[in-house]
Structure 1
């Protein structure tokens, strides 16, 4: 946050508060018009000490300026004169503050100038902004956010202002307001052809997640991956959202496997752990075909060491189970003749795990037609099979049919993946 220092002094002293030396009123009005400042009518009681005070302030002669500014304040009657008095007082207190004084003394003249109709709007915007800086320095985050918002409405233009408002709202506990403000800033920058930094997205994700704002967190993750769809980011966000302990969403093992399937599709499985835990969970679900596929794929990719005893044990168990299960074609025939869709769904899962997508798609549709299955789970996996087969629009149609939570969010993850696939 910008501190009140030399920068503030420069702003205040450049803010249209100049008092002209004693001169005919017509000449003063002409000069004001040329400078675009307010046209002021000052009495002799104000004009004389004001001009002297201005000279003293220009020389930073606080001792001389102090009684002169007080005299102007005492004599000021009209809004014009009160404007001059406020501007002089502000300049005087700014000089004092720059020499180690307190910013508290700036509050009264700033408020007076903000309220004065003679203060030009551009100056008023700066003064409101500085009230926000003072409030922020005093840890009054809510008050500072209000002042900064008013300054923006008055036309104060600072590229850091939106982010300052966001941080203040967040720090004051208004996470929803800060998130909405940050979303507007990101949209504006994107529309202008700019790319917000990754830190912006990660900040919003962390803040909304701290308040357990699950929908907002997911929305920020989607924005982040649309802007920065690297394989690493995809893995980080999938693990953060649904796989790690205390993740954003609470998923059961089959739902986590569907998220691992997304990572595998995007070539975002990172290491031995990813391959082996995914393979283990697939085996636990009764999918030895998927376990075998994963172990072999992980070894070929160099992610599973040749000497991994865990992988070797899983592969042996998977091969034994596959031998005991028999042919998938035989299971498919039985599934089509079954009274309900349960065997069709489980056989489709086996085909999906062994990368045989046409067979999986057919049997998932059989399962949905026969019924007796979890339609959300089957439509999720139908969408996965269609996505992996290259039928993007068909996959989106299947994902759109998933309604219950958390499966609807899992389906949304896959739609995001289809729109913004991971890149190396």
Structure 2
């Protein structure tokens, strides 16, 4: 049977359910403490001599001699003390006779059950035996039984740091994704409170499981916790694409919403390859933001991500330059926006300034748009937050993003808020 140790627990959660080594009896120190408050065993006269011989044979690893003696002890056992020592011998014999350490769950299960039921079993061993029975139940695909044994082990003082994560795996694999997700968050919060950093794979495991079950709010929560703990450019790109850009993403977004995610990737320097730059530029140009499309292509070329012979990039660049020339100065629109009856022209003009990197002007006109009304306030506050963030006004950006309330823009804003609160790795 394989053991799951602290360093390997994240990998165990991502792999198939594995077996776990038999838990050893209580340590000498724990035994001494138990003995101080537990009356010594009083064996029946018929059991005493047999038990002494069986114990000597087991200690000598003479299992051929021990086996019939253990059977005789079990047959003669009458009291709880007799039954306790008989079960201990049966367990030791089953473990000792295992070929190459490959312990058979079916052979250790009966003595473990007997020891768990026996009032003479010390509490420290009760905790360990309940834990081991939980492992056996888990290996037998009996999740509810396994959880019950594990919980009992915890109540009796079993403190293996792996146990909460093993319970998570059982819940997840049995279909209780919501329960497993909540338990995993609790276990990881405890690790963080203890000054430990949860393994990166635990976050990915939780995201994968909740996404598979389409528990989108849970998934988004795990994405943000993940990027807060591991804020690398690769991880930013992964979660943003999984959330709303790739095929089969967690949520379905329109081009404008995807552009706001690409803007986040651009700010976090998390644009990965030719596809990222070209699709971002394409979306920006489609939305009437040629300055932004051109700037993205320029950055992709400078980063070595867009080859000089890319037909797509070159065509987009040509279209963007022509659109910029046709568009001319935005100054006339600035004046008209302020005089308009509603905020629609101000919002559109602010978007153009945002795409061109004129953040001060964009901020001014987004505020005009909100004041005049008649616009999508969530979209405007998202873009205002982006302009403020890119201008260096973090506090203002946070206030704007926090004003976004409706889905999916509230989620997009929350990713921006996470970025503002998380130093880059």
1:15 Cα offset (Å): 9.4
Alpha-carbon distance between aligned partners in 2 of 1:105 and 1:14, rounded to the nearest angstrom: 24
Task: Tell me the equivalent position of 1:24.
Answer: none
Scaled by the length of structure 1, the TM-score of the pair is 0.88
2:44–2:79: 8 Å Cα contact kept in structure 1? no
Summarize the alignment of residues 20-419 of structure 1 with structure 2, pairs less than 5 Å apart.
38-98=39-99, 102-419=104-421
1:253 Cα offset (Å): 0.8
Alpha-carbon distance between aligned partners in 2 of 1:111 and 1:14, rounded to the nearest angstrom: 21
Flag the 1:134–1:15 CA change in 2: closer, same or farther, 3 A.
farther
1:12–1:90: 8 Å Cα contact kept in structure 2? no
Alpha-carbon distance between aligned partners in 1 of 2:33 and 2:206, rounded to the nearest angstrom: 47
Alpha-carbon distance between aligned partners in 2 of 1:5 and 1:97, rounded to the nearest angstrom: 15
Q: Determine helix, strand or coil for the equivalent of 2:46.
A: helix
Range with bigger deviation, 320-329 or 224-233: 320-329
1:162–1:182: 8 Å Cα contact kept in structure 2? yes
The match for 2:24 among 11, 17, 21 is 11
Flag the 1:358–1:98 CA change in 2: closer, same or farther, 3 A.
same
Alpha-carbon distance between aligned partners in 1 of 2:349 and 2:20, rounded to the nearest angstrom: 73
Q: Any unmatched runs of 5+ in structure 1?
A: 19-30
Flag the 1:38–1:107 CA change in 2: closer, same or farther, 3 A.
farther
Alpha-carbon distance between aligned partners in 2 of 1:182 and 1:114, rounded to the nearest angstrom: 28
Alpha-carbon distance between aligned partners in 2 of 1:121 and 1:88, rounded to the nearest angstrom: 18
Task: Tell me the equivalent position of 1:2.
Answer: 2
1:67 Cα offset (Å): 4.0
1:112 Cα offset (Å): 1.5
CA RMSD in angstroms, aligned pairs only? 2.7
1:12 Cα offset (Å): 5.4
1:202-230: CA deviation from partner (whole Å, max 9, x where unpaired): 11111111111111111111111111111
2:20–2:135: 8 Å Cα contact kept in structure 1? no
Flag the 1:147–1:261 CA change in 2: closer, same or farther, 3 A.
same
Aligned residues: 409
1:144 Cα offset (Å): 2.7
Task: Tell me the equivalent position of 1:21.
Answer: none
Q: Determine helix, strand or coil for the equivalent of 2:197.
A: coil
Q: Any unmatched runs of 5+ in structure 2?
A: 4-17
2:44–2:78: 8 Å Cα contact kept in structure 1? no
1:339-384: CA deviation from partner (whole Å, max 9, x where unpaired): 1111110100001001111111111111111111111111111111
Range with bigger deviation, 44-53 or 123-132: 44-53
Q: Which has the larger radius of gyration?
A: 1
Alpha-carbon distance between aligned partners in 2 of 1:5 and 1:224, rounded to the nearest angstrom: 29
Alpha-carbon distance between aligned partners in 2 of 1:5 and 1:54, rounded to the nearest angstrom: 28
Alpha-carbon distance between aligned partners in 2 of 1:197 and 1:5, rounded to the nearest angstrom: 21
Flag the 1:62–1:303 CA change in 2: closer, same or farther, 3 A.
closer
